[in-house]
């Protein structure tokens, strides 16, 4: 059976450049879409967070007005409620590091939470490096690629130098209203580390695949990133 590790942020805030805490967490669509799809396909899915803390869903991602679809918001809420026991007891990322070979893929959803904790999570970097070097699939969506930043080599180089990827763009961060207060922007940081960044139009589905690395730009990319992940797993089976 295919086994996928879904790593969620354990943070309920993002510390902005003025020291204030912006309430956040993981983005509902970016978790619900892959988790539900993987489970329906018979995939064995494990959820993990740093220190095994219960993840917090960003309430904005469940706001019908923000989503522009009351039915969609209600659907996400129902699904999260249906797996509440699973979300209440995630695995600890630290306990998986060095022993991730059982997984065929890792999937990292966004929300601003990963900017606070996953971007600095060395054990997550170890897991990603182990899986990527073994030819397993590494997928991250929206702010999820912040979790790719700790993945490095012993010589200090970044694992994904010169790899093609996307993520939540500077333009989208500006349109969302947080860019002026952000301590750093994900697109900038990925480019600085050596990524070959490919941006699509704001809020439109955009996925970049470079070998066994798959990245999606924003919440609208969740479905396509999930489908790309499953297709890549089938190719590698």
Give 151's DSSP letter.
-
> Would you say the pTM of this structure is higher than 0.85?
yes
Mean pLDDT to the nearest integer, 44-51: 98
Q: Is the pLDDT of residue 184 over 90?
A: yes
So what's the pLDDT on residue 72? 95
* pLDDT computed for residue 49 by the predictor: 98
Query: What's the pLDDT score for residue 68?
Result: 87
Query: For the chain, give me the number of helices (H) and strands (E)?
Result: 10, 11
Using the predicted structure, report yes or no on whether residue 110 has a pLDDT greater than 90. Answer: yes
Please check whether residue 236 is in contact with residue 135, taking contact to mean a CB–CB distance below 8 angstroms. Answer: yes
* pLDDT tens by residue, 114-157: 999 999 999 999 999 999 999 999 999 999 999 999 999 999 99
Whole-number pLDDT of residue 202: 98
Tokens of 37: 């799809």
Q: DSSP character for 58?
A: -
pLDDT of residue 181: 97
CA distances, 5 to each of 10, 62, 107, 118 (Å)? 15, 24, 6, 14
Q: Are 10 and 124 in contact (CB under 8 A)?
A: no
**195-230 as b/e: b if 16+ CB within 10 A:** bebbbbebbebbbbbeebbbbbbbbbbbbbbbebbb
135: left (phi over 0), alpha (psi -120 to 50) or beta: left
The predicted structure's pLDDT at residue 236: 85
pLDDT of 237 > 90? The answer is no
- E runs forming strands in the chain: 3-7, 13-15, 21-23, 44-49, 91-92, 105-108, 137-141, 164-165, 196-197, 207-210, 213-216
pLDDT tens for each residue of 3-19 = 999 999 999 999 999 99
Written as six digits, the tokens of 138 are 């590494």
Measured distance between the N- and C-terminal CA atoms of the chain, rounded to whole angstroms: 10
Q: Where are the domains of the chain?
A: 3-236
Q: How far is residue 6's CA from residue 217's CA, in Å, rounded to a whole number?
A: 17
- Position 162 scores a pLDDT of 98
**What was the pLDDT predicted at 117?**
98
Q: Taking residues 51-79, what's their average pLDDT?
A: 96
Q: What CATH architecture applies to the domain 3-236? A: 3-Layer(aba) Sandwich (3.40)
Coil, strand or helix: which one is 62? helix
Apex 103 CA angle, 51 and 80, nearest 5: 60
With a cut of 90, say whether residue 223 has pLDDT above it: yes
């Amino acid at each position: 059976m295919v086994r996928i590790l879904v790593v969620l942020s354990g943070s309920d805030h993002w510390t902005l450049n003025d020291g204030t805490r912006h309430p956040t967490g993981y983005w509902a669509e970016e978790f619900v879409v892959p988790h539900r799809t993987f489970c329906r396909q018979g995939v064995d899915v494990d959820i993990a967070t740093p220190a095994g803390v219960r993840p917090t869903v960003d309430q904005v991602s469940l706001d019908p007005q923000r989503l522009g679809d009351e039915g969609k918001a209600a659907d996400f809420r129902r699904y999260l409620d249906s797996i509440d026991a699973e979300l209440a007891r995630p695995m600890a990322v630290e306990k998986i590091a060095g022993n991730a070979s059982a997984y065929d893929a890792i999937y990292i959803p966004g929300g601003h939470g990963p900017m606070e904790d996953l971007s600095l999570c060395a054990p997550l970097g170890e897991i990603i490096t182990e899986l990527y070097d073994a030819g397993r699939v590494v997928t991250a969506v929206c702010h999820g690629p912040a979790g790719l930043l700790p993945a490095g080599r012993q010589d200090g180089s970044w694992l994904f130098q010169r790899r093609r990827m996307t993520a939540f763009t500077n333009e989208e961060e500006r349109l969302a209203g947080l860019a002026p207060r952000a301590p750093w922007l994900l697109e900038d940081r990925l480019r600085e580390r050596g990524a070959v960044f490919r941006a699509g139009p704001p809020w439109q589905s955009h996925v970049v695949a470079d070998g066994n690395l798959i990245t999606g730009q924003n919440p609208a990319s969740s479905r396509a990133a999930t489908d790309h992940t499953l297709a890549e797993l089938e190719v590698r089976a």
